[in-house]
């Protein structure tokens, strides 16, 4: 597969023709849920015409007719098309890795034990503080190139490995510069210099010293509401301050314990609550009755050997759900949404249709981009993944296989196995 220097080049007009299928989740003004979650429109023997970075037309080949003017054609025979994938939850801005910790965990150490001993997130904080902004930008670009090869054309990335003013802001700038949607995760862990004063005082510092500039750079704020990180009172204070500064709200919640994330998310009008591996029946029902999207991260649960989130129960109860990788060096060193799609179908009990909607339209809602991302439809951004099979569901069926043939972003070929 060739990757074009991170810069998409190609024609202004691109006709992807003779596709076996074009599959696009049904679009709604709100996230899809209930039976609508499983609605995917499939056109057989179809084309997609892209102009000026947008989808101009999509339809069956028999209705294509003559195309006037210059147009570059892409042969879609034997391929199927789905919308460019949207990864709405990553921690793609970090320096270093945690391969040593990975080996320790394989030998029996738990993620929480490593964190409590000053490793885990805090070891990535040390590496990220030492890296410098240029290196951070290069890291996000490298990680984004991995995601792109796997079909992700839109990604969110969080800060949260700086935990001081300078590095948190550098992370947000690096994410923006690399084309990501930035989320401020200042409240990810309490850094060593604030350990004595504690989590509440660290939240005071974030709101007083970092928020004003973070709010200029980020689109949303996020908090790790968990035993050993931030409790519900601290999370509320952080998120309310962020909302007052104009940021949308998200939470890491119910990853290890139910500590009040779902009620808080609903009360403060968060866009999403993410993880939910520990969510019980009452939480499922509460989330289903709300407008908050539940973001499920099965790669993270499996990577840590933890219970999986109650995806089927959430979907059946009518909750709006999204899927994401949680790509990060500690709990999910996985940048591939197709792998997550496979896990959703084999481990979470979702159908391929539901899983596709969850990492396209619904993920786009979490990022407030559902008016132009997550579907193949006229007027939408021309972000298209060509799957190397005549049935798009091979994207989920082929576990970690080479199913992504070509990725089109903004109407230009961004990477292809055909080059
Ligand atoms: O979503 N749980 C908190 N944060 C990340 C992990 C970050 C890390 O381990 O570096 C997560 O799993
Ligand atoms: Fe996360």
Instruction: Tell me how far the alpha carbon of residue 345 lies from the centroid of ligand 2, in angstroms.
Output: 21
| pLDDT confidence of residue 107 | 95
Let me know: does 406 contact 413? Beta carbons within 8 Å.
yes
Give the number of other Cβ atoms within 10 Å of residue 210's Cβ.
Answer: 21
Dump pLDDT digits (tens) for 164-213: 999 999 999 999 999 999 999 999 999 999 999 999 999 999 999 999 99
Pocket of ligand 1 (CB under 6 A): 91, 120-121, 124, 224, 252, 255, 300, 326, 328-331
Instruction: Tell me how far the alpha carbon of residue 94 lies from the centroid of ligand 2, in angstroms.
Output: 13
Ligand 1 pocket test, candidate residues 331, 332, 333, 340, most atoms within 8 A of CB: 331
| pLDDT confidence of residue 356 | 98
The encoded tokens of residue 271 equal 């866009």
Q: Which segments of 76-201 are extended strands (E)?
A: 80-83, 85-87, 152-158, 181-187
State the closest ligand 1 atom to the C-alpha of 111, by its place in the atom list counted from 1.
Answer: 9
The encoded tokens of residue 329 equal 């060096």
Let me know: does 59 contact 88? Beta carbons within 8 Å.
no
Let me know: does 53 contact 382? Beta carbons within 8 Å.
yes
State the closest ligand 1 atom to the C-alpha of 330, by its place in the atom list counted from 1.
Answer: 9
Kindly give, in sequence order, each residue whose CB lies less than 8 Å from that of residue 101, ignoring residues fewer than 6 positions away.
109, 114, 119, 120, 123, 330
DSSP code for 247: -
Place of tokens 């990477």: 415
Beta bridge partners of 86: 154
| Residues, Cβ < 5 Å to ion ligand 2 | 326
Ligand 1 pocket test, candidate residues 156, 183, 252, most atoms within 8 A of CB: 252
Beta bridge partners of 225: 230
Angle between helices 133-149 and 165-177 (to 10 degrees): 40
CA distances from 23 to 82, 139, 360, 403 (A): 5, 33, 11, 15
Tell me the average pLDDT of the chain: 96
State the closest ligand 1 atom to the C-alpha of 255, by its place in the atom list counted from 1.
Answer: 2
Fold held by 86-366: TIM Barrel (3.20.20)
Q: What CATH number matches the domain at 13-83+375-416, 2.60.40.10, 3.40.50.300, 3.10.20.30, 2.30.40.10?
A: 2.30.40.10
pLDDT band at 28 (very low <50, low <70, confident <90, very high): confident
Q: What is the pTM of this model?
A: 0.97
State the closest ligand 1 atom to the C-alpha of 94, by its place in the atom list counted from 1.
Answer: 10
pLDDT band at 8 (very low <50, low <70, confident <90, very high): low
Long-range contacts of 106-113 (CB under 8 A, 24+ apart): 111/304, 111/330, 111/331, 112/228, 112/256
> ∠ CA 338-339-345 to the nearest 5 degrees?
90
User: Which listed ligand is nearest to 157 at the C-alpha?
Assistant: 2
Look at residues 160, 252, 147 and name the one whose alpha carbon lies nearest to residue 202.
160
**DSSP SS3 for 126:** helix
Dump pLDDT digits (tens) for 295-345: 999 999 999 999 999 999 999 999 999 999 999 999 999 999 999 999 999
pLDDT band at 11 (very low <50, low <70, confident <90, very high): low
**DSSP SS3 for 112:** helix
Dump pLDDT digits (tens) for 250-275: 999 999 999 999 999 999 999 999 99
Q: Residue 6: pLDDT above 50?
A: no
Separation between Cα atoms, residue 273 and residue 254, nearest integer Å: 9
Let me know: does 1 contact 149? Beta carbons within 8 Å.
yes
Let me know: does 218 contact 246? Beta carbons within 8 Å.
no
User: Structural domain boundaries of the chain?
Assistant: 13-83+375-416, 86-366
Place of tokens 């410098």: 132
DSSP code for 84: P
Report the half-sphere exposure of 322 (CA within 13 A, side-chain side).
30
Calculate the CA dihedral of residues 364, 297, 33, 285 and round it to 10 degrees. Answer: -130
The encoded tokens of residue 227 equal 């035993």
Instruction: Tell me how far the alpha carbon of residue 252 lies from the centroid of ligand 2, in angstroms.
Output: 6
Cβ burial 235-251 (10 Å sphere, 16+ → b, else e): bbbbbebbbebebbbbb
The DSSP code sequence of 307-321 is PPP-HHHHHHHT--E
The DSSP code sequence of 24-66 is EEPP-SS---GGGGG-EEEEEEEEEEEETTEEEEEEEGGG--P
Percent of the chain with pLDDT strictly greater than 70: 97
Instruction: Tell me how far the alpha carbon of residue 118 lies from the centroid of ligand 1, in angstroms.
Output: 14
Containing 13, the helix (H) or strand (E) segment is strand 13-25
């Amino acid at each position: 597969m060739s990757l074009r220097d991170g810069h998409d080049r190609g024609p202004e007009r691109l006709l992807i023709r003779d596709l076996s299928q074009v599959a696009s989740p049904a679009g709604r003004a709100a996230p899809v849920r209930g039976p609508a979650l499983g609605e995917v429109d499939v056109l057989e023997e179809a084309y997609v015409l892209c102009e000026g970075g947008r989808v101009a037309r999509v339809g069956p080949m028999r209705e294509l007719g003559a195309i006037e003017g210059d147009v570059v054609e892409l042969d879609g025979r034997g391929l199927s098309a789905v919308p460019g994938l949207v990864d709405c939850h990553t921690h793609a801005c970090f320096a270093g890795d945690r391969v040593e910790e990975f080996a320790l965990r394989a030998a029996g150490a738990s993620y929480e034990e490593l964190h409590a001993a000053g490793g885990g997130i805090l070891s990535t904080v040390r590496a990220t503080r030492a890296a410098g902004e240029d290196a951070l930008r290069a890291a996000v670009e490298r990680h984004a190139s991995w995601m792109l090869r796997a079909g992700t054309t839109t990604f969110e990335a969080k800060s949260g490995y700086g935990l001081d003013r300078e590095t948190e802001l550098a992370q947000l700038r690096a994410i923006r510069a690399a084309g990501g949607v930035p989320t401020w995760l200042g409240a990810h862990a309490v850094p060593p210099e604030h350990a004595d004063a504690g989590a509440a005082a660290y939240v005071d510092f974030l709101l007083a010293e970092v928020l004003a500039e973070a709010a200029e750079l980020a689109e949303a704020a996020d908090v790790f509401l968990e035993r050993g990180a931030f409790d519900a009172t601290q999370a509320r204070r952080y998120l309310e301050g962020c909302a007052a500064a104009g940021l949308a709200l998200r939470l890491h919640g119910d990853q290890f314990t139910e500590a009040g994330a779902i009620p808080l998310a609903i009360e403060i009008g968060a866009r999403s609550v993410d993880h939910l591996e520990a969510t019980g029946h009452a939480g499922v029902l509460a989330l289903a009755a709300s407008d908050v999207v539940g973001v499920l991260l099965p790669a993270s649960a499996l990577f840590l050997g933890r219970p999986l989130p109650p995806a089927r129960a959430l979907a059946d109860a009518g909750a709006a759900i999204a899927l994401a990788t949680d790509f990060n060096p500690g709990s999910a060193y996985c940048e591939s949404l197709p792998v997550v799609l496979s896990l959703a179908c084999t481990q979470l009990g979702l159908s391929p249709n539901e899983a596709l909607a969850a990492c396209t339209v619904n993920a786009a809602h979490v990022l407030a981009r559902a008016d132009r991302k997550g579907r193949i439809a006229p007027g939408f951004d021309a972000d298209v993944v060509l799957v190397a099979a005549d049935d798009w569901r091979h994207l989920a069926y082929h576990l970690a296989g080479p199913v992504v043939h070509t990725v089109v972003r903004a109407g230009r070929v961004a990477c292809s196995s055909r080059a």
